[in-house]
A and B are shown apart, each in its own frame.
Chain A
Amino acid sequence: MSTIKIRSKRFADYTLVRTLIAHPMETGHNKNNTTGELIPAHFIQTLTFKHNGKVLSQCQMGYGISKNPFFSFKIKSAKAGDKVSISWQDNLAYSDTQEHIIS
């Protein structure tokens, strides 16, 4: 199962694109309740949002973004059939990418 969900909705003047990502966004300052040990920091650092292969937004983030990150964007003009994609990479070098066709 992909970690990235993408939804889009076309309006008259723009297309709303929303994404929800499964990621712990661990700060590294929380303790495991059972073992008492610190849970290592594990958070997304960079994210790229593309439309038909063109980068529209690049994001640098820290662990201040909430667990299971959500982001939304508005593309000025997009058509049905256009492709959008979200890619992320985290501090432990894990990454994922997902595409979505605008309907």
Chain B
Amino acid sequence: MLTTRRRFVKKLLTLSSYALSLGFSHISLANWLASNFSRQTISQSIAQLFPNQELQTSDRISLKLPNTAENGSVVPITISSTIPDVDTIYILSEKNPVPLIAQFSIDPELETYLGARFKMQETCDVIVVLKAKDQYFQARQKVKVTLGGCGG
């Protein structure tokens, strides 16, 4: 078990190299993580992630999501798109206390395709945003999250 100080140093080093590879200083990555994964409204989150950007609704984004989540803690999603030159995929859940779920960079060697499992607090829209060079595209799909019955 590493001591707190050794873990802190280790975290600093790993995060630094990760951050540098992204073009951040490690401090600004830590800040980015803290501010984008903080509790806020969906409007605040979108304003922070995509300042002054138009999120064009696109029918070239395909979302596979359940109509009703079996359990809000594990909602499977598959995202695929025919939009060319996508370099980043964002997953948001409109009414989660922290709306941003995850952000993925996509190298040209990858298909614009992603599978993930995430948590939803309540019935709301799942919003997927794709960044292709300097343009942003979005697709939304409502997923019902219910509590109660007998699933325990």
Interface residues of A (CB under 8 A from B): 14, 18, 45-46, 48, 51, 54-67, 69-77, 89, 92-95
Contacts and interface: CB of A to CB of B under 8 A. Distances in A.
A63 B109 contact: no
Given A54-B109, A64-B118, A76-B111, A48 B98 contact: no
A45 B59 CA distance: 31
Contacts of A76: 109-111
Given A45-B33, A65-B101, A70 B117 contact: yes
Contacts of A95: 10, 14
What is the size category of the interface that chain B forms with chain A? Answer: 35 or more
Given A57-B107, A58-B18, A60-B32, A73 B98 contact: no
Contacts of B100: 62, 64
B14 A66 contact: no
B110 A56 contact: yes
B102 interface: yes
A14 B115 CA distance: 15
Contacts of A51: 109
A93 B5 CA distance: 11
Given A48-B18, A66-B118, A67-B73, A61 B102 contact: yes
Given A18-B115, A72-B78, A75-B110, 13 more contacts: A54-B109, A57-B107, A57-B110, A60-B103, A61-B103, A62-B98, A62-B100, A64-B100, A64-B101, A66-B119, A70-B115, A73-B113, A76-B110
By secondary structure, the A interface counts as: strand
B27 interface: no
A66 B103 contact: no
A25 to B, nearest CB: 8
A75 B110 CA distance: 5
Top 5 A-B residue pairs of the complex, sorted by shortest distance between their CB atoms: A72-B115, A93-B11, A62-B37, A74-B111, A61-B102
